[in-house]
Amino acid sequence: MNKLIPLPLLLLINSFCIAQGVSKADQKFMQQKEDSIREQSVKIIQGINASDRFTADSLFTRMLVRALKTKNSFHYPFESFQTISILYSPDSVFRIFTWQMVINENVIRQHGTIQMKTYDGTLKLYPLIDKSDVTGNVMDTIGNNNGWIGAVYYKIVQKKSSNQDYYTLLGFDENNIRSSRKIIEVLTFQNDEPVFGGRYFSYEDDAVFKTSHSRFILEYKKEAGPRLTYDKDLDIIVVEHLVSESNEPNKKWTLIGDGDYEGFKWKNGKWVHVEKVFNLVTPDGAPPLPNPIRDPAGNIDENKLKGAETEKAPAKPKGKGNG
């Protein structure tokens, strides 16, 4: 049975769509389609087996594209979607849909599309094809929408340098049975085509030299939940530092957050690594962040290392993400 949209929300959607030039007839059509599309989006996540999820994903994609062909659909918000991330760029040049599909416990793929805002309200889409599984070095690959390193995005940060717009995407990837990942990805448009990646992550200010990378990937133990978020006040992407609970840092599935924070600051068209974001202490000498995993001498607290107080991984994405 189709669920009714609450009246206050319906009125809000109505006023939003009318203000943006969506005709009443098209608005009604979109509202009718939204409920059916949402049902398939839920089945992508909740389908009992892979076949059910594949079928739901296929139906969802076709139904969504059909609805997006409606004139001025760019302005229709799809507010009722709970398992699909929909983010608008800060300048409203595009919006990006991303979602995930679990094939099995070790194969999790992301799907998505970029919808561009067009002058005449017609549809312009760039489907996103996840090529993570067949990409040799995901940290250094530069690709278009057909060679995408998949993630479900929860934040867009827009920067500008030399008249070029840079859209930094923060995303989450469940990855596999042992580890999850959070990804910082820079999206640009060159000749009106999307480009993912570039030498945008620099370690030039670090004490020890490191090679720059095309994207930043934080891979960690499945049950952990290290923070990766954008702090607007500091204008810094804040990343929780990781430590191996078994002293095997090369095994990503052993890494958990240690309560210390590094980050990236935008400088001259790139994100420059900051080794310690919170390098001040409070007047009594206590660390500024609660419950670090290391004591003042730098020793690891074994009880905290066991994970009793670590954050849980993000819930199934609506797309906003909590970093």
- What stretches of the chain adopt beta strand conformation (E)? 85-88, 94-104, 107-116, 125-129, 152-161, 164-173, 179-190, 193-196, 201-202, 216-221, 228-231, 236-244, 255-267, 270-274
In this prediction, residue 301 carries a pLDDT of: 53
Q: Tell me how crowded residue 287 is: count the other CB atoms within 10 A of its CB.
A: 16
Q: H or E segment at 29?
A: helix 24-46
Residue count of the chain, please give it. Answer: 323
Phi-psi region of 321 (alpha: psi -120 to 50; beta: other; left: phi over 0): left
Coil, strand, or helix at residue 143?
strand
Q: How is 73-124 classified by DSSP, letter by letter?
A: GGG---TT-SSSEEEE-TTSSEEEEEEEEEEETTEEEEEEEEEE--TT----
Q: H or E segment at 10?
A: helix 7-19
Q: Which residue has the tokens 């995901």?
A: 138
* Residues 52, 58: Cα–Cα separation, whole Å: 10
Comparing CA positions, the residue from 160, 177, 176 lying closest to residue 168 is 160
**Domains in the chain: boundaries:** 1-76, 84-305
Helix-helix angle 50-68:24-46, to 10 degrees: 170
Ranges of residues in the chain with a pLDDT under 70 are: 1-21, 279-323
C-alpha gyration radius of the chain: 21
In this prediction, residue 279 carries a pLDDT of: 67
The pTM of the full predicted model, rounded to 2 decimals, is 0.81
* Residues 164, 142: Cα–Cα separation, whole Å: 17
* Residues 43, 123: Cα–Cα separation, whole Å: 26
In this prediction, residue 267 carries a pLDDT of: 96
* Residues 96, 115: Cα–Cα separation, whole Å: 6
Q: Do residues 276 and 262 make contact, with C-beta atoms less than 8 angstroms apart?
A: yes
In this prediction, residue 289 carries a pLDDT of: 45
In this prediction, residue 20 carries a pLDDT of: 60
Helix-helix angle 7-19:24-46, to 10 degrees: 120
